[in-house]
């Protein structure tokens, strides 16, 4: 037996997974409050005690960790055109596992700087212009950012003709600066891999210490990545497979949390028909989006605003007045769980269903009809996920319920929203043991083992329709 410990330091819970890589099996899982505001070791040690009760005392060969504690990796991006370099910067940040707390386009203003200060990002990503294109905007923004008393690193990934000038302006002002290749070197071309790698490197070298995770360093072999990056790595492996082990094919994954809802897709998503025109930037094959206004507790009001009170009432079977009362109660008492209470269970079902529907709708692309000289033409924006046949779901509200399949069905295409390119039908895989982040960590060293464990441990259900 070769036991390995995998740790996910969350904002609320520290989750542990013990794996025997020789036997390719999970030995046990446990979780405890993270206690990031006091000493992160407290939550870790409490979780270790709980895990030991299940597995017995183990001598771990290695211990790997990921983290979204204390708000995760908070990023601000500044680009030129919102739909182009601004969107490229956002895609790079999200794919690296960040939570994008501010997106700015065109020339920054003094008011923007004040807002950035108040957002307290961990990293600022500065982009703008294709190579050989506009340099004025990114140089202006670098000069303005240079006046800030910033405590965060700045990653420059814009027009190569201006990158070094921006670097000098910022370095001379005393900022920590990293230069990467342009995230959009040519019009409509994305090149975000090196920027994502640099963002993760900064997270490991600097942010981990700032979040207090260095307190637990004596127990760890490596703190490797933000938790969302670990989940993205896991679902990409599950989809695509690796040498010696096949994946399950194109998929989407939905993680409904208390504060945010993350959606991942691993699929090409490009137009299928000759009479379809693609609009906007081509999207990453493995894509992540995060909806900061959609969550089961901290962002519960965002779900109601997106779905509408009438729909929430219809799905839950509760009156509009009662929905409103319970939502206000949940906002004030974010730790509240249904615990078998009929009304709360009904409301939580409706909240999870609508969070899933809205987050996947925003993640997926859209199709519009238009008429040209060639006749009827379709215009696609974003990813076409209609042919995706697998949905992976995780998050407390989906795994601690017997209604998981019914909730997952809300991720699918609906005739009431014909423009949305969501999956038409799909099998459902449930991360009942909360292992996706752990398997993403494990996959860096043991990809075959991680994939086999996921295929064995994820609870499979047939078509969700």
Q: According to CATH, where is 3.40.50.360 located in the chain?
A: 73-198
Q: According to CATH, where is 3.30.420.40 located in the chain?
A: 3-70+211-220
Residues 359/289, Cβ–Cβ less than 8 Å: yes
User: How many Å apart are CA 120 and CA 152, to the nearest integer?
Assistant: 8
The pLDDT value recorded for residue 113 is: 92
| CATH top-level class of 3-70+211-220 | alpha beta
E-state strands within 280-415: 286-291, 366-372, 375-381, 390-394
Enter the pTM of the model: 0.83
The pLDDT value recorded for residue 48 is: 87
The pLDDT value recorded for residue 422 is: 96
Which residue, 274, 187, 199, is CA-closest to 232? 199
The CATH number of the domain covering residues in 73-198: 3.40.50.360
Residues 20-76: tens digit of each pLDDT:
999 999 999 998 876 545 556 777 888 888 999 999 999 888 888 887 765 567 889
Q: 56 to each of 49, 50, 51, 179, how far by Cα in Å?
A: 10, 10, 8, 48
Helix (H) or strand (E) holding 261: strand 261-266
Handedness of CA 52, 446, 14, 458 (dihedral sign): negative
Burial track 202-237 (b if 16+ CB lie within 10 A, e otherwise):
bbeeebbeebbbeebeeebeebbbbbbbbbbbbbbb
CA 338 to chain centre: 26
The pLDDT value recorded for residue 70 is: 57
CA dihedral 328, 332, 337, 338 (to 10 degrees): -20
CB-based contacts of 271-275 (< 8 A; 24+ apart in sequence)? 271/378, 271/380, 271/384, 272/384, 272/387, 273/378, 275/374, 275/375, 275/376, 275/377, 275/378
Collect the ranges in the chain with pLDDT lower than 70: 11-12, 34-40, 69-72, 206-224, 339-341, 373-374, 463-465
Residues 138-190: tens digit of each pLDDT:
999 999 999 998 778 999 999 999 999 999 999 999 999 999 999 888 887 88
User: How many Å apart are CA 289 and CA 263, to the nearest integer?
Assistant: 5
The pLDDT value recorded for residue 233 is: 94
């Amino acid at each position: 037996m070769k036991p390995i410990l995998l740790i996910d330091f969350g904002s609320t819970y520290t989750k542990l997974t013990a794996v025997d890589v020789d036997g390719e099996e999970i030995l046990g899982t446990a979780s405890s409050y993270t206690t990031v505001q006091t000493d992160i070791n407290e939550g870790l040690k409490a979780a270790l005690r709980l895990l030991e009760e299940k597995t017995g005392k183990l001598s771990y060969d290695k211990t790997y960790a990921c983290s979204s504690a204390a708000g995760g990796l908070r990023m601000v991006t500044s680009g030129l055109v919102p739909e182009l370099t601004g969107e490229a910067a956002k895609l790079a940040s999200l794919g690296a596992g960040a939570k994008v707390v501010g997106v700015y386009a065109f020339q920054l203003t003094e008011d923007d700087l004040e807002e950035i200060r108040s957002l307290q990002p961990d990293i600022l990503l500065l982009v703008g212009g294709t190579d050989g294109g506009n340099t004025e905007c990114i140089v202006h923004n670098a000069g303005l950012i240079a006046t800030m008393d910033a405590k965060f690193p700045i990653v420059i990934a814009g027009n190569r003709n201006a990158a070094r000038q921006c670097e000098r302006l910022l370095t001379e002002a005393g900022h920590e600066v990293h230069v990467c290749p342009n995230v959009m070197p040519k019009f409509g071309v994305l090149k975000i891999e090196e920027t994502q790698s640099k963002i993760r490197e900064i997270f490991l070298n600097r942010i981990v210490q700032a979040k207090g995770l260095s307190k637990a360093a004596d127990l760890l072999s490596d703190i490797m990545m933000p938790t969302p990056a670990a989940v993205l790595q896991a679902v990409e492996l599950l989809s695509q497979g690796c040498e010696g082990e096949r994946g399950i094919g194109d998929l989407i994954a939905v993680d409904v949390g208390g504060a945010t809802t993350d959606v991942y897709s691993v699929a090409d998503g490009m137009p299928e028909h000759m009479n379809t025109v693609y609009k906007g930037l081509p999207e990453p094959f493995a894509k992540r989006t995060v909806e900061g206004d959609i969550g089961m507790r901290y962002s519960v009001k965002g779900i109601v605003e997106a779905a509408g009170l009438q729909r929430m009432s219809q799905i839950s079977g509760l009156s509009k007045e009662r929905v409103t009362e319970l939502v206000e109660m949940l906002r004030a008492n974010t730790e509240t769980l249904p615990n078998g209470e009929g009304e709360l269970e009904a409301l939580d079902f409706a909240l999870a269903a609508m969070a899933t529907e809205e987050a996947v709708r925003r993640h997926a692309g859209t199709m519009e009809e238009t008429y040209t000289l060639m006749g009827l033409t379709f215009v696609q924006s974003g990813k076409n996920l209609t042919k995706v046949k697998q949905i992976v779901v995780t998050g407390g509200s989906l795994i601690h319920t017997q209604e998981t399949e019914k909730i997952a069905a809300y991720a699918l295409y609906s005739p009431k929203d014909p423009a949305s390119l969501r999956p038409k039908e799909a099998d459902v895989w449930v991360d009942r043991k909360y292992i996706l982040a752990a398997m993403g960590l494990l996959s860096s060293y043991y990809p075959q083992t991680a994939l086999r464990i996921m295929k064995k441990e994820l609870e499979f259900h047939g078509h969700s329709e």
